[in-house]
């Protein structure tokens, strides 16, 4: 959960006249909020009215093409086989879907500069696996690099600059807001001392771009699995200032401080984000358990209430055999899973791990898209047979 933040120029009192310099009239205030008037919100101040739509252009159906809607099969997807594409939105490939979220991969080669994008349905969580660049929004810019999570609340208008053509992104679209885990925060919302990260680790918007430009500006808006193109009369980055709690922010997986113990700790100690419908965890380099009889590898466990998705980022994931960068494993709810043959024995006596992975546990079953099946190795389900 972000903290109170402000950038640029704002009036001393909200909902009052905020005059432009040299008698140029008033700035236009916009409340940017969630959950009606009950959730996070910010107040933005525009040079021009943010409502001036010139044209409603084409709409495109972008609903994921589902292939496996009822399945109880453990799978491994070869994520780096997702095709590189020039355009950022075209490169986004949805793989795992339910009523609460979309999990996918993107491999864009070029910056998003020809148009602006807004997801009107879902918060977006981008995990940067490869590439560096800048997330540019009407609420400020955030520089990103390998290992960064970027949280983009629904409704944020953005573009992305990439410094190279080799970019790999894991993305999650969430139809409920993405927050930091509630158990990490005190009554007032501040991160507790025992939390594995704190507000000092957040990457907040820093540079506020302010454009006073009239022209033809295309914003592509995702709404109900349709991508609508609208032409606005003024540049959408015309905000001179804002303050509040609703804005994009980032956090590096490398700043997550793992919680360890004498015996193996369960996955919730790795939790990084929460929603009403799923959690996101970060598996990071850490010391192993230090009980003299400890087994560092995880014990077998049953996913009765959730589907487990793990995206492998780097290092040697100690509980799995034949895993590489960019692989995604799906362990569906209803059947147990655990360390691969030999993994438990290999872990005994080891002192540390250098694995890096992102886990998404959903509380409703996930469906696979046609694109996901193209990446499936088809044999992961029997990889526990000795």
Q: What is the pLDDT of residues 313-326, one digit of tens each?
A: 998 887 888 899 99
Q: What is the pLDDT of residues 178-208, one digit of tens each?
A: 999 999 999 999 999 999 999 999 999 999 9
Please give the Cα distance from 297 to 232 (Å, whole number).
Answer: 55
Please give the Cα distance from 197 to 281 (Å, whole number).
Answer: 13
Average pLDDT (360-367) is 96
- Confidence class for position 259, pLDDT limits 50, 70, 90: very high
State the virtual CA torsion across 152, 157, 163, 167 in degrees, nearest 10: 50
| Cβ contacts of 254 within 8 Å, gap of 6 or more | 147, 284
pLDDT above 80 (res 2): no
Cα-to-chain-centroid distance, residue 120: 15
In the chain the domains, ranked by start, together with CATH numbers, are 5-68+82-252 (2.60.120.10), 256-378 (2.60.120.10)
* pLDDT at res. 318: 79
163 touches 133 (CB < 8 A)? yes
* pLDDT at res. 18: 96
0.85 exceeded by pTM: yes
Q: Give the up-direction half-sphere exposure of residue 350: CA atoms within 13 A in the CB hemisphere.
A: 19
- Across all residues in the chain, what is the average pLDDT? 94
Provide, rounded to the nearest whole percent, the portion of the chain with pLDDT above 90: 86
Q: What is the pLDDT of residues 36-46, one digit of tens each?
A: 888 889 999 99
Provide, rounded to the nearest whole percent, the portion of the chain with pLDDT above 70: 100
Q: Which two tokens stand for residue 289?
A: 């358990």
Please give the Cα distance from 194 to 184 (Å, whole number).
Answer: 7
Q: What is the pLDDT of residues 57-91, one digit of tens each?
A: 999 999 999 998 898 999 999 999 999 999 999 99
Antiparallel, parallel or unpaired: β 226-234 and 53-61: antiparallel
pLDDT above 80 (res 165): yes
Please give the Cα distance from 25 to 28 (Å, whole number).
Answer: 10
Q: What is the pLDDT of residues 95-137, one digit of tens each?
A: 999 999 999 999 999 999 999 999 999 999 999 999 999 999 9
Average pLDDT (323-331) is 95
Average pLDDT (6-28) is 94
142 touches 203 (CB < 8 A)? yes
**Ramachandran quadrant class, 305 (left: phi over 0; alpha: psi -120 to 50; beta: rest):** alpha
* pLDDT at res. 177: 94
Question: How distant, in Å, are the alpha carbons of 31, 43, 209 from that of 14?
Answer: 10, 8, 22
What number of other Cβ atoms are within 10 A of residue 123's Cβ? 24
- Confidence class for position 1, pLDDT limits 50, 70, 90: low
Instruction: Please tell me the chain's helix, strand, coil percentages from 3-state DSSP, rounded to the nearest 5.
Output: 10, 45, 45
Three-state SS at 201: helix
């Amino acid at each position: 959960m972000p903290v109170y933040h402000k950038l640029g120029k704002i009036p001393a009192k909200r909902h009052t006249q905020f005059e432009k310099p040299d008698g140029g009239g008033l700035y236009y205030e916009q409340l940017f909020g969630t959950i009606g008037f009950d959730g996070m919100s910010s107040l933005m101040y525009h040079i021009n009215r943010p409502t001036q739509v010139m044209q409603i252009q084409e709409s495109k159906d972008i609903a994921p093409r589902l292939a496996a809607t009822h399945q109880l099969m453990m799978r491994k997807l070869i994520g780096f086989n997702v095709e590189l594409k020039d355009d950022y939105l075209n490169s986004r490939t949805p793989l795992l879907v339910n009523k609460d979220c979309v999990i996918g991969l993107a491999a864009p080669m070029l910056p998003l500069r020809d148009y602006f994008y807004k997801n009107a349905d879902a918060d977006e969580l981008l995990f940067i696996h490869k590439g560096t660049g800048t997330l540019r929004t009407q609420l400020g810019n955030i520089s990103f690099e390998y290992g960064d999570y970027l949280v983009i609340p629904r409704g944020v208008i953005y573009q992305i600059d990439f410094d190279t053509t080799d970019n790999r992104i894991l993305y999650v679209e969430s139809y409920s807001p993405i927050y930091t885990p509630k158990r990490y925060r005190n009554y007032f919302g501040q991160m507790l001392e025992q939390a594995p990260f704190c507000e000092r680790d957040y990457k907040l918007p820093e540079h506020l771009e302010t454009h006073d430009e009239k022209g033809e500006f295309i914003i592509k808006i995702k709404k109900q699995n349709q991508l609508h193109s609208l032409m606005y009369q003024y540049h959408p980055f015309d905000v001179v200032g804002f303050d509040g709690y609703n804005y994009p922010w980032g956090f590096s997986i490398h700043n997550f401080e793992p919680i360890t113990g004498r015996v193996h700790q369960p996955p919730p100690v790795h939790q990084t984000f929460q929603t009403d419908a799923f959690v996101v965890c970060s598996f990071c380099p850490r010391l192993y358990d230090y009980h003299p009889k400890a087994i560092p590898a995880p014990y077998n466990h049953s996913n009765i209430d959730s589907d487990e998705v793990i995206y492998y980022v780097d290092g040697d994931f100690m509980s799995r055999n034949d895993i590489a960068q960019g692989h995604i494993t799906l362990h569906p709810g209803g059947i147990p899973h655990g360390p691969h043959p030999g993994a438990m024995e290999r872990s005994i006596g080891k002192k540390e791990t250098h694995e890096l992975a992102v886990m998404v546990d959903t509380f409703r079953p996930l469906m696979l898209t046609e694109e996901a099946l193209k990446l499936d190795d088809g044999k992961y389900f029997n990889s526990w047979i000795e």
